[in-house]
């Protein structure tokens, strides 16, 4: 490949990353705010968890894809087992930032969370490069993007499960243990796709489709959790934990999220399998795992 071709290919990859970042930021914020339009302000006339909460689910997937693309970019420098580590590091920061922003209880909470995540992520990346001495080009930017994407994904999950962002709802999300699901689920969705597709034939479209599949499976779990929240199933129960009474209108949102996530899972799995067959030299059935007798 000529020098000019390599330069053009590098520029195209950079443009693709920037496009993913812009789309991830805008779509996730738009999804969260579309869902919040029916709960902010309180006189909107609709109860929490109105049907538009599915928009937050789409926003969560977009934010995860953004963070996962940044993991893919930074991990190409040969971090090895650092692929999961950088994902867990980003979601660790984002969990604290997301909870803090939610407890501000303002319509600007998602934007505040994103700005804080970008700033803290950039500072963390700077410290990693300068103090630890990894000296990876673009570390600051990518850590900032991973943290911001994970923060918006976490805040979107608040809206998906509880139907709103406020201290009471966030408290229900945290004290029922749902935040643990968010921490592990979002982290795995962010780093799993690239880790699973490592190798010389790793392709961005195949890796991205696996990210969408992971995020859609997480959204399905969130949809079920949202249904339980609407039905008031909680260890503490009551409105103080962020729960709302079940009614037809409040149950529509979780139902739409569940059916939507199932559709996304089927489509993403089909597309991913198509990409696997396209890129694989040969596909072989391995059969069942060997028994203990076979191994001995």
How far is it, in rounded angstroms, from Cα 245 to Cα 238? 9
Q: Is the peptide bond before 41 cis (omega within 30 degrees of 0)?
A: yes
How far is it, in rounded angstroms, from Cα 60 to Cα 125? 23
Residue 88 has pLDDT above 70, yes or no: yes
What is the CB neighbour count within 10 angstroms for residue 129? 17
How far is it, in rounded angstroms, from Cα 83 to Cα 76? 9
**Overall pTM surpassing 0.85 (yes/no):** no
The pLDDT, as a whole number, for residue 50 is: 56
Residue 187 has pLDDT above 70, yes or no: yes
Cα 292 to Cα 40, 110, 286, 287, 296, distances in angstroms: 59, 52, 17, 15, 6
How far is it, in rounded angstroms, from Cα 169 to Cα 42? 14
pLDDT tens for 215-261 read: 999 999 999 988 888 777 543 444 444 444 456 666 788 889 999 99
pLDDT tens for 13-44 read: 555 567 888 898 999 999 998 887 765 544 34
């Amino acid at each position: 490949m000529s020098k000019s071709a390599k330069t053009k290919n590098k520029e195209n990859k950079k443009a693709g990353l920037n496009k993913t970042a812009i789309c991830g930021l805008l779509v996730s914020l738009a999804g969260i705010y579309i869902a919040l339009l029916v709960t902010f302000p309180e006189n909107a006339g609709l109860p929490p968890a109105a049907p538009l909460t599915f928009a937050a689910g789409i926003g969560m997937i977009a934010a995860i894809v953004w963070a996962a693309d940044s993991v893919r970019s930074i991990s190409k420098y040969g971090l090895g087992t650092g692929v999961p580590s950088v994902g867990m590091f980003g979601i660790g920061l984002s969990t604290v930032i997301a909870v803090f922003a939610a407890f501000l209880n303002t319509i600007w909470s998602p934007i505040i969370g994103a700005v804080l995540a970008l700033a803290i992520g950039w500072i963390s990346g700077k410290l990693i490069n300068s103090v630890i001495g990894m000296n990876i080009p673009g570390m600051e930017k990518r850590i900032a993007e991973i943290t911001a994407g994970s923060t918006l994904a976490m805040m979107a999950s608040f809206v998906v499960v509880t139907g709103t962002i406020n201290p009471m709802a966030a408290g229900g999300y945290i004290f029922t243990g749902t935040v643990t699901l968010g921490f592990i689920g979002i982290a795995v969705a962010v780093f799993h796709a690239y880790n699973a597709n490592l190798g010389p034939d790793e392709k961005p479209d195949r890796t991205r489709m696996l990210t969408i599949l992971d995020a859609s499976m997480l959204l399905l779990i969130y949809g079920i959790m949202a249904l339980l929240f609407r039905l008031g199933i909680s260890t503490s129960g009551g409105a103080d934990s962020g729960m709302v009474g079940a009614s037809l209108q409040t149950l529509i949102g979780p139902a739409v999220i569940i059916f939507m996530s199932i559709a996304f899972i089927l489509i993403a799995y089909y597309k991913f399998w198509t990409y696997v067959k396209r890129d694989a030299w040969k596909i072989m059935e391995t059969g069942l795992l060997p028994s203990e007798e076979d191994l001995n």
